[in-house]
Amino acid sequence: MVSNERGRRTPSAPAGISRIPERGTPSQRTNPMSRCSSIVVRAGGDPDSESAATLHAGQITEGFLSSLGPRFLRRLYRRIGRMPTSFLLVAHDGGRTVGFVAGSTDLAGLYRRFLWRDGLGAACSAAGSLFRAPRRTLETLRHRNSGGAGIGEGAELLSIAVDPAWQGRGVGRLLVTAFLGEVHQRNLDAAHVVVGADNGPAIALYEHAGFVAVDTFELHAGTVSMLMQWHRLTRSPETGAGPP
């Protein structure tokens, strides 16, 4: 997991989702997708790592990775966009980035590549935070290969964030749908995400897309997380409907 790692000692908001307030009229909240028709979601590259890092640092405030700072995050998202087994999708309104979602089909491979190619520069940019929390750093790196609780099937949704001006307007749903579309394009039948066990808005967002809660666990002591799983037979990313 990347930005779904929490750094607090109590159940917290998921690292990828801020607690987004409902906005607009009741009819607008019923159909939020109608309010983001101008949004285009596309694959992100090196130039998008800056905006992704800025959104992450500004909107994902409770995660361990957020404590490492924008320079570290910029290197991480640049590597995610370059890896063939990972992907960065960005949402645009005109020329402005209003949200992003990141995913990976091989998180262990992503970590290895990141440490090999970016580790020295990333460590220098976040040395203070890394040295203050060495245990959490190791727990984060080892989790995917632990074989223990919280290990899901298929691609992992690593992080998602939306510009405050666009929160509550359907961009989050659009990005999750785009993530599942990428999973489909890669011929995968499953995906998963880890969220804070007490984060109702994030859980509802994923449930709307067809994710189902399958486990709760503590990656870091005192931090309760929830593993949510999606299978293609459960929900179609294109239509949002189940099988006939």
Q: CA triplet 133, 137, 143: central angle to 5 degrees?
A: 140
* Closest listed residue to residue 160, CA positions, set 118, 206, 212, 191: 206
3-class DSSP state for residue 26? helix
Average pLDDT, the chain: 77
* Closest listed residue to residue 49, CA positions, set 97, 109, 106, 105: 97
pLDDT at residue 8, as a whole number: 33
Locate 148 and state its tokens. Answer: 């223990």
Q: Encode pLDDT of 231-240 as tens digits.
A: 987 555 555 5
Separation of alpha carbons 196 and 92, rounded Å? 27
Separation of alpha carbons 45 and 138, rounded Å? 28
Region 187-216 average pLDDT: 93
pLDDT at residue 217, as a whole number: 84
Pick from 4-13, 67-76, 78-87, 133-142: least confident? 4-13
Separation of alpha carbons 231 and 180, rounded Å? 10
Locate 72 and state its tokens. Answer: 């570290």
Q: Encode pLDDT of 50-92 as tens digits.
A: 999 999 999 986 666 767 778 889 999 999 999 999 999 999 9
The fold of the 26-231 domain, in CATH, is Aminopeptidase (3.40.630)
Domain boundaries, the chain: 26-231
